[in-house]
Structure 1
Amino acid sequence: MATINLASVSAKGFASFNGLRATDAVQVSFFTPVKQSGGSQKTFRGLVVKASTTVAPKYTTLKPLADRVLVKIKTAEEKTSGGILLPVTAQSKPQGGEVVAVGEGRTVGKNKVDISVKTGAQVVYSKYAGTEVEFNGANHLILKEDDVIGILDTDDVKDLKPLNDRVLIKVAEVEEKTAGGLYLTDASKEKPSIGTVIAVGPGQLDEEGNRKPLSVAAGNTVLYSKYAGNDFKGADGTEYITLRASDVIAILS
């Protein structure tokens, strides 16, 4: 894959991309070009454009509004745990960072609801949430509080404290054999949709601003939607997933 990084590019040529402005910094990635049969003309398989807004140095503060949170993004890992340097393409995009500012909250029904995360908290957020901004020389993300999955005070996802209606589940190990005793190859092993609930959030707000307890609890073995949630790997290699309680289909016993 060939990658072109542009510090700044006019958005006029990308009118079909909503929200892209001429002042935004853009990263453009082209897939490997391929020759068309019978000719020398080259085509591209795909185009990925990602824009992040750069805040001018003259602005020294950024205050989120309503139920939004400003998070300073954690730096991507540049090495493996064994010390091997990773190329840019192999560096996983961080899904966590430090809360540096919060909004004033929102009104639900007749009640004023404050932001449940505080400045300085280390949080994990949904993979595709928020708007990226470069502010004070660092990458930040402005997102709604509801897109914050939970608070993580350690480096291990097993210690995650879910927020709102989020649930942290330890994924069941992949079956090595069929019911008839035949060993499965890696390619034929199906990703499980079953796991054990490790922690649950306090519940979603109802129309009056009160918390509704979740229908699942820590210790439950549950079946969940196959394509829901965000996947994480613990420090010991254990697979975890965080998802909304509504994505839990059933409790197994």
Structure 2
Amino acid sequence: MATTQLTASSISTRNLSSFEGFRTSAIQFSRNNARIGIFSQRSFPSMVVKAAATVVTPKHTTLKPLGDRVLVRIKDAEEKTVGGIILPSTAQSKPQGGEVVAVGEGKTIGKSKVEISVKAGAQVVYSKYAGTEVEFNGSKHLILKDDDIVGILETEEVKDLKPLNDRVLIKIAEAEEKTAGGLLLTEGTKEKPSIGTVIAVGPGPVDDEGNRKPLSITPGNTVLYSKYAGNDFKGKDGSDYIALRASDVIAILS
């Protein structure tokens, strides 16, 4: 039987040149069949082929709060204590403040339109667990109701907080260091005080006709308040403060 042998040099390898790492061996053809020699491998590392995935991220350039809602850019969590100790991420306190980015059109009470109590650019403090957190323009924001904003704080001093609506800022009385019998108390056993001095008050709540109703509490009052109400803050001077609703004040002491 006649056999024709063709070498690699007699066959165009134009279509095989892209397969780097292979060379062609002899290719033999017979009358009844063609037998092609296998490719020998010089170097063929394992290959993983991945289909290109396209992730489409919605691109929003504006976010407009509706009604009595406010959009606030959340400030970064504190990474150090007052004494300069670096905190791990698990121990960093959840921020309670930020900058107002946008506000809604307000709400209607009765026949009156009540505007939002803050403007864009204001530095505010809000209730710790209020609102809905969203990612916007590469940073964390919070959408919350106007009523969830505790006050405006333009400095780093808690005592400068300007309460909003029916909120009251109180400087908490120092905890008792001793029991009635004279025993010294540790930090863990000190009774949480519920007495303090009023530092500032808000303009009051809005009544059914859309008018502000002034609070009966005034700065300088010594008050007794509900034990677990409000939001606690630590002042730069080491003093403790609390911001709460006027309805959580139980009595005025004299």
Shorter-normalised TM range: 0.7 to 0.9
User: Offset at 1:57?
Assistant: 4.8
State yes or no: 1:222 paired with 2:232: no
CA RMSD of aligned residues (A): 1.2
Matched residue count: 198
Please give the secondary structure, in 2, of the residue aligned with 1:188: coil
Q: What stretches of structure 1 of length at least 5 have no aligned partner?
A: 1-55
Alignment of 1:1-253 (within 5 A): 56-253=57-254
Q: For each residue in 1:77-111, what CA deviation from the matched residue of structure 2 results, as whole angstroms up to 9, or x when unmatched?
A: 22234443221101111000000000001111111
Q: What stretches of structure 2 of length at least 5 have no aligned partner?
A: 1-56
Conservation of the 8 A alpha-carbon contact between 1:57 and 1:136: no
More strand by share: 1
Q: For each residue in 1:186-226, what CA deviation from the matched residue of structure 2 results, as whole angstroms up to 9, or x when unmatched?
A: 33310100000000000000000111111211000000001
Q: Structure 1 residues 184 and 81 mapped into 2: Cα distance closer, same or farther (>3 Å)? A: closer
Please give the secondary structure, in 1, of the residue aligned with 2:63: coil
Alpha-carbon separation, structure 2, partners of 1:81 and 1:115: 34
TM-score when normalising by structure 2: 0.75
Please give the secondary structure, in 1, of the residue aligned with 2:188: helix
Larger radius of gyration: 2
Q: Which amino acid aligns with 2:139?
A: A
Q: For each residue in 1:34-68, what CA deviation from the matched residue of structure 2 results, as whole angstroms up to 9, or x when unmatched?
A: xxxxxxxxxxxxxxxxxxxxxx5511000000100
Q: Which amino acid aligns with 2:234?
A: K
Q: Which amino acid aligns with 2:215?
A: L
Alpha-carbon separation, structure 1, partners of 2:175 and 2:194: 10
Please give the secondary structure, in 1, of the residue aligned with 2:90: helix
Alpha-carbon separation, structure 2, partners of 1:114 and 1:223: 32
